[in-house]
Structure 1
């Protein structure tokens, strides 16, 4: 196992911030390219994985978005935003029956999603 140094953590934080800037600028595919190695290096980092899923969603990479959102929900089944995004992703794919339970859960967990 590789020991992570403070410099490694700083580099990852800087890359995450750079990805967030690309996302905020609507350069979603660029944000995804930056986030992919971060998520691979730190698979338990849910914030990076959620931003990657959102980047995929907004760049119409819906299968990839769904896969990342399922990973988030495997790690944290109570993540209401991931349920909302997975529901919307499935809806966009024309899979309303699969989307419905996730959208209901999101609404039940967070009134803002109702």
Structure 2
């Protein structure tokens, strides 16, 4: 079965993934730790992995266990297992060879945003939207990346586009309301926050945002509904930080 091969520049390898004693690039400890980590990460998906390291590059050659396995799936699986840095690194190694692959661009953009590497996140998500225009999930993620970068103007513009693209996308609606609220625009935020709780009845953040908006209104019906949302948060996840706030 043919292997897949990709190359990572040594300078781009995330040393935070390695033990403290192995973080000096080029050292014997670094080389050994890189080989061990990559081999371990790919073991579930491959029969054999070879890792070659020189002063400039890390070359990974992997023979998949099953015919037709896609190395992109390896990177996505890493992300799903909570290894954001490792998954992002795998996908970023592949994006050079597949620069318009939507699965790579979307997942890599999301991971980069969560890693607070917002410039990279914006670049990959914007490129994804040239391949899949109007995708509400990607627009929401792009708006969030702009927000995390401090660019509120672009964040609001993109979030509104996400809601326009899919008014029933609860995450788009919730995030638009959240960005507006963060800027003190409570009256504009309230309808979005309340709508998000209707669309996402088990999402703690949506419920809490709606409860706050309803409390701001202050009338009896709004306060009663706010209490209902706060009690639901406590019932859904009584040990969460949001549940403590709800109490």
Please report the TM-score for the alignment, with normalisation by the length of structure 2: 0.40
For CA contacts below 8 A with separation 6 or more, give which structure has more relative contact order.
Answer: 1
* Structure 1: unaligned runs, 5 residues or longer: 1-6
Which of 110, 134, 137 lines up with 1:44 in the alignment? 134
User: What is the count of residue pairs matched by the alignment?
Assistant: 108
Candidates 12, 16, 40, aligned match of 2:102: 12
Higher-strand-fraction structure: 2
Contact 1:22 1:31 in 2 (8 A): yes
1:22 matched residue in structure 2: 112
Aligned partner of 2:172 among 82, 87, 108: 82
TM-score w.r.t. the length of structure 1 is 0.79
The 1:32/1:41 distance shift into structure 2, 3 A limit, reads same
Unmatched tracts of structure 2, length 5 or more: 1-96, 208-247
From 48, 56, 69, the equivalent of 2:146 is 56
> Which residue pairs with 2:196 in the alignment?
106
* TM-superposed deviation, 1:66: 1.4
| Rg comparison, structure with higher value | 2
